[in-house]
Structures are given as structure tokens and as C-alpha cells.
Structure 1
Amino acid sequence: MDDARAPTAAERVRTLVESSVSAVLDIPSARPPEPAALGHGSPEARAVTEDGDVVLLVPASSPAAQLAGRASGDEVTAVMEITDVAPVAVPHRVRGRAWVAGWLTPVAPGERGALARLITARHPAGPPAADVAWLLLRLEVGEAYVDDLWGAEAVEPDDFAAAAPDPLAPHEADLLQHLAASHDDQMRTLCGLLGETGPACAAAGAQAVPLSVDRYGMRVRFCGLEGHQPGACFDARFEFPDPVNDVAQLRQAMRLLFEAAAG
């Protein structure tokens, strides 16, 4: 997707990889004959290097760490699956999934300090358990794929490496929760921008829930509208006049959006 009014597939994958949403690491060679979880693990934190490799912080006792440490130069194939769930209460909360496949190796001793600082910059709180031994692994990206609210699309490694995460991503959960909890009336006024559908939002029980926000705009899920089937919902996208780069610019864009809806 090359539309300048929307994030590209590479940007969407990069945003999810560098976020703190749930991720599972699958190592096919570690799958047991029974459907247990021995071949899977959840990285505690992750970040992306300038070259587009994904750095993973995992327990030293995890299958991923053990296999990568024993590989002795052999490639360990791994797939990281990231599940993006809306941080607000809304029907059908899973907003999308991304998969990043590649080759897993331990981080070389000479790189550990710099990459540990990179992980800390992305996740300042650090590992929650001080009594656990941690290991840094590198996932060299071979291919990536995203299936989300924008659609399904493959991403080439070079495009992933060149992409930048959305600048609002670290703040998105707090922003959406604040809008849902404190600005319900203003959210409902956005119905006025939907043409003939607008008056239906005045129905008792109608909801306008902020589903996602990025530098280009906000997506809202409308449910319970008059004239629609019970339980039926639909999404509407509201674009900002100009892309925003930080929370201050977002507040200004939201103010203009609500003013347009009220006027």
C-alpha cells in the first residue's frame, strides 16, 4: 500500500514488532510430537536494529535460547507471531496479526551491550524477574506478513528494515482508553461525518468506540445504530488534515476533527 494517507504494510509490521503487544515465537524444529508448548515461547521484549534484524530478550532456559545456543553455526528457523488486540472494550477486539519469519542466532558477545541498550530504550522497565537469567537473540528477517484492519499483505525484508514504526504507537493504548472513557459524547458526534448514517447514531445504545489511531487518522467502530441488525458493527476511518508526529499534534488534529463533526 503506497497511499500517503495510510501506513504501508511494512510500517504496520514494524510498528507491531516494536510494540509491547503479545508475541509468540515458534521454532518448528523444537515442536514435540504432542501439541504441547515446548517449541514455543514469548519474548519478554524486542527491538529492531538499523539493519532490520529483530533483537529478542528471552529467558536463558527457554527452548529458543537453548536451540540457538546449540546450533553451532547452523540456522535455526523461527516464526514470530504478533497478535494486536484493541486496548478498549469493543466487539471483535483482535485488530490484526503479523508474522515475521527468519533465522535465529545468539547475539555475539561484542554486540550485547549496544543491543541491550536498544532493548532498554524500547522497554525501559526491563525484565520483570531479576532472578531469571536472560539471553539476547537475533532474528534475521527472511519474510514478513500482516493481516489486519487494512488488509493482508506480504512485506519484503528490505522494506521492513527501511520502515519506521508509527510515532503514536507507544501512546495509543492510553489515548484510546481516554477517548472511550472521557469523550463518549464527542465520539458519537463523529456520526455527523457519515452522511445518511449519521442520524442513526442518536439511537439509544448506539456506540462509537475509538478502535485505533495512527499518524494519519483514527478508526472508529460503530455499533447498535438504528436501522442495523442487533449486534451489527461497522468501522469508519477519519483522516487527519495532515499526518501527526507526536501527541501534541494529535490533540490539535482531534480538536479539528471534533469541530468538523459538531459544525
Structure 2
Amino acid sequence: MPSAAERTRTLVQSTCSAVLLVPGLRHLPSDRLMPLARTVGPEGDVFLGLAADSPVARAVAHAGGEDPAAVLEITDVAPVSVPNRVRGRAWISGRLTVVPGLAGPGRTTLRLETEEAYVDDLWGAREVRPDELRDAAPDPLLGHEAELLQHLHTAHREELRSLCGLLGGRTAGRCPHHLPSVVPLALDRYGLRVRLCEEAGPCYDARFEFPSPVRDIVELGHAVRTLFEAAVR
């Protein structure tokens, strides 16, 4: 499974929605607190791009030498329609400083010096040390996951339903006729997670691991085909 640090770094560098929570600015609408860009630097700090006239950028610029505390809150929502679409959240807390010379006209780059990090997602909740975040790598499928899940959902529904047959006794007497929806929920280099919802009944998740971690979408294609072939044997 991906480590908590890897999952956190993947969320930071994803396109998931994020807001900067800064004391004194919490009353503002969330769209006024959203960074325009974010990435993780070589030391594990988070670099945030904002409009130069944004409330956060102005607050940091006029902090009078005292670096303001802030929390970057990231919310991960499944890219396909599924019950309980929030897949997880991550929080990075630290101090904000202005980084001169990196932003273009009308932009400001802020550095959030990571002091604490925490992730609560489909895998569970865990603290992440700054050095763990620094050393972790984002998932290699990060830039493709949303598109791939949407493709699986629209073009491979029957193949997804066939995965029910790999669940053994957990679905005895119910599979496949009483599982009207099998929705792809999450994808990473280690495997595929789906959400199964019974008609007028509960939903539950199942995860199918690949034989070995994939490094790119070419290897992912082979892994998914192997998974579907195993399901129909």
C-alpha cells in the first residue's frame, strides 16, 4: 500500500481543492483562500502560488517580520459519481513566508514551512513527519487518475461488475445479480479500489492489488487487463 507520506504528497501535488486557513482570515469565502498552484520543494516545504492581491498574500506581506501560522487543507473528491464522494483530506501546517523572484507579474509565491502534516483517507488516519513528506514521491499515476477512473466507469462497466466474482464468500448469494453498481473509486500504482453498492442496501469498498507496482500508464494497462481476465475465468 502507499505510505501515508506518499498519499499526502500525492494530494498536495494533485488538482484537489485546497484552502489556506490563516488566523484572522477564516471569515472569508473559501474561494478567496485557494492557492492557484502548489508543489513540494526539495526540503519538504510547500510552495504556493497566489494572486498578489489575494488576502493571504497581503497578510503575509504585511506581517511585520512575524511569519503567520497557516494550515493548508486539501480535500480529495472522487472524480466519478459515487455515494460518499470525499475520499480523504490532508492538512499541512506551518509558517508562511514570501519567496521573492519566483512568481510572474500579478502573482506571489509563498512558502509554507512544514511543521506538521496529517492525512485521513480511505487507508486510515496518520500523522506524517516533515522528513517523511520530504522524502516521499507522489504516485506516478497522479496526473492520469481522474481520466482513467472516468474511462473505466463509462467504457468498462461490465468488466468492473465481473470483479465481484473475485471477492469469494464476502458476496456469496449476492453476486452478481444484486450488485447494480460497481464504481471505480481510486487508482494508484499498487492497485484499484472500487465501491460496490447493493440495491436499496449498503455500499462497501473492495481493493484489487496488481501483481507488482506499476510505473506508468502502459504498465497500468497490462495490470488492469490481467485483473479483468482473472475475474472472468
Tell me which interval the TM-score lies in, with the shorter structure as reference length: over 0.9
Contact map agreement 1:81 1:97 (CA 8 A) in 2 = yes
The equivalent residue for 1:257 is: 227
The equivalent residue for 1:71 is: 63
Gaps of 5+ in 1: 1-5, 117-131
- Aligned partner letter, 2:115: G
The equivalent residue for 2:78 is: 86
Q: TM-score normalised to the size of structure 1? A: 0.84
- Cα RMSD, aligned residues only: 1.8
SS at structure 1 position matched to 2:224: helix
SS at structure 2 position matched to 1:30: coil
The equivalent residue for 2:194 is: 220
Output aligned runs, 1:39-188, within 5 Å: 41-109=33-101, 112=102, 133-188=106-161
CA distance in 2, matches of 1:20, 1:199: 40
- Aligned partner letter, 2:119: V
Report the alpha carbon displacement of residue 28 of structure 1 after superposing the two structures with TM. Answer: 1.3
Post-superposition CA distance 1:146-199 (Å, at most 9, x none): 000000000000000000000001100000000000000000000110002165
- Aligned partner letter, 1:51: E
Q: Name which of structure 1's ranges 240-249 and 68-77 shifts more when overlaid on structure 2.
A: 68-77
Name the structure with the higher helix share: 1
Question: Which of 3, 25, 29 lines up with 1:30 in the alignment?
Answer: 25
Sort the Cα spacing of 1:251 and 1:198 in 2 relative to 1 into closer, same or farther, 3 A.
farther
Contact map agreement 1:26 1:40 (CA 8 A) in 2 = no
Contact map agreement 1:26 1:39 (CA 8 A) in 2 = no
CA distance in 2, matches of 1:60, 1:38: 17
Output aligned runs, 1:184-203, within 5 Å: 184-196=157-169, 197=171, 200-203=174-177
Contact map agreement 1:11 1:163 (CA 8 A) in 2 = yes
Percent sequence identity is 54
CA distance in 1, matches of 2:28, 2:18: 17
CA distance in 1, matches of 2:194, 2:2: 17
The equivalent residue for 2:6 is: 11
Report the alpha carbon displacement of residue 80 of structure 1 after superposing the two structures with TM. Answer: 0.6
What is the number of equivalent residue pairs in this alignment? 232
CA distance in 2, matches of 1:204, 1:72: 63
Q: TM-score normalised to the size of structure 2? A: 0.94
Post-superposition CA distance 1:117-139 (Å, at most 9, x none): xxxxxxxxxxxxxxx82111111
Post-superposition CA distance 1:196-218 (Å, at most 9, x none): 21652322661111000000001
Question: Which of 179, 183, 193 lines up with 1:209 in the alignment?
Answer: 183
Report the alpha carbon displacement of residue 58 of structure 1 after superposing the two structures with TM. Answer: 0.6
The equivalent residue for 2:213 is: 243
CA distance in 2, matches of 1:67, 1:140: 16
